[in-house]
Amino acid sequence: MILTALTKLALRNLLRHRRRALIAIFSVALGTAALAVASGFIAGMFADFREATIESQYAHLQITRPRYHENGLADPDRYLLPDDAAAQTLRTVPHVRAWGPRLGLTGLVSHGESTLSFVGEGFDPAHDLTGDRSLTIVQGHRLGVADQNQVLLGKGLATLMGVQAGDAVVVLVDTPASGLSAIDAKVAGVFESVSKAYDDSALLLHIDAARKLLKVSGAHSWRVYVDETVHTPEVAAALRTRFDAARFEVRTWDQLAEFYTRAVDLFQQQLDVVRFIVVAIILLGISNTMMMSVMERTGEIGTSMALGVRPRILLGQFLLEGALIGLLGSLAGLALAFMTGWGVDALRIDMPPPPGLARGYLAHLSFTSATVLEALLVGIGTTTLASLYPAWRASRLVIVDAIRHNK
């Protein structure tokens, strides 16, 4: 009952001083809009970056021998998984849409007088989703099931070697068990992923060709793709119950994609700076506005206190006025941010590649429930906080001095 009465009184006071209230609401709206746009831009950029990283390099989950990712390159034969038949249980796990074996290898690739080192993987084109969305073939074609004597090269590696689709190359590896091994292969295609560093050394080939090169069977990892990235933790938990932890290790994409997590952390730090600036602007602006309101209404406050209005009621009234300014400003700011997002989508703005990435992306503002909630909390919370001191000052006025201020 008291809250309803105070809310009506706060609204009436805001309407009585429309100009000041509109200026305050406008400043809150600009701040929350800037925060929502910045958050939406970063979320949109990293949503695309995340999915591209998953599809082109890591998959949603990887199943390996324990400690493979730390020690596997030094002694790959020691970390081989059993026959692919052991992984058939993956097909029965809810949300798993595909899986495929991977066999890692490093070595040299040669064309004419050019020889460069590579970091490669053998994969099964029949089941693995490599290149399904995020490996862009810039020359040639993807590997097919029958393309066992063909390879895909990263764009950077192909450029450094002067190789094009259709050229012949020699792939040479040094296996711990049997020494040097080589195959002649044709470049089926040149691809581009999201990571320039990956493209500068990447080589992909049919897993049967990789097994022939390394003179092994099995694989170093089983790559698992889920229907939606949000289900990754759920699937990981299910897999850990099905596979013996002493013999198998399950890792999620975010545990493997260190570059992605570092980039997200960097942009989050920049977003924190935006948050600080927005909060500082709102605090200073609203605090100044509310102090002016208290000074102009000192006589009115004194009269109210003389009529028996308690200090805590006055405190609540001014806090509610600040909260209402925050609510209205936040809603206006979110509306402005949504309109900005629609405009950005309509314009289809091409953005340059972020540092370390191989290609750009279409600008997109992704507004989630978290983005909306953050904008509302920052807008309402900051204006309420900014109103606290002026409201306290109003509640502490001496009745006689306040009434005399009106004369």
103 and 236, same structural domain?
yes
Distance CA 134, CA 141 (A): 14
79 and 45, same structural domain?
no
Q: Would you say residue 256 lies in a domain?
A: no
pLDDT in tens, 136-162: 888 998 888 888 889 999 999 999 999
368 and 321, same structural domain?
yes
pLDDT in tens, 66-81: 988 888 766 777 888 8
141 and 209, same structural domain?
yes
**Termini Cα distance of the chain:** 34
225 and 112, same structural domain?
yes
Distance CA 274, CA 365 (A): 16
Q: What percent of the chain has pLDDT over 70?
A: 79
The confidence score (pLDDT) of residue 131 equals: 46
Q: How does 147-168 read in b/e, with b if 16+ C-beta sit within 10 Å?
A: bbebbbbbbbbbeebebebebe
12 and 34, same structural domain?
yes
Which has the closest alpha carbon to 24: 360, 258, 293?
A: 293
Domain final residue pick, 220, 247, 274? 247
The confidence score (pLDDT) of residue 398 equals: 61
The confidence score (pLDDT) of residue 8 equals: 67
7 and 109, same structural domain?
no
- The whole domain housing 400 covers 2-52+261-404
395 and 291, same structural domain?
yes
The confidence score (pLDDT) of residue 57 equals: 77
Q: Would you say residue 255 lies in a domain?
A: no
The answer to whether 77 and 306 have CB atoms below 8 angstroms apart is no
Residues of the chain under the 50 pLDDT cut: 131-133
299 and 383, same structural domain?
yes
How many structural domains compose the chain?
A: 2
Query: Mean pLDDT over all residues of the chain?
Result: 80
Q: What angle do CA 267, 328, 285 make, to 5 degrees?
A: 70
pLDDT in tens, 234-274: 999 999 988 888 889 999 988 888 777 777 777 778 778 87
Q: Residue 338 burial by CB count (10 A; 0-12/13-18/19+): exposed, middle or buried?
A: middle
The confidence score (pLDDT) of residue 187 equals: 94
Q: Would you say residue 355 lies in a domain?
A: yes
The confidence score (pLDDT) of residue 321 equals: 77
98 and 28, same structural domain?
no
Domain final residue pick, 193, 213, 247? 247
The confidence score (pLDDT) of residue 151 equals: 94
174 and 295, same structural domain?
no
Q: Would you say residue 342 lies in a domain?
A: yes
300 and 241, same structural domain?
no
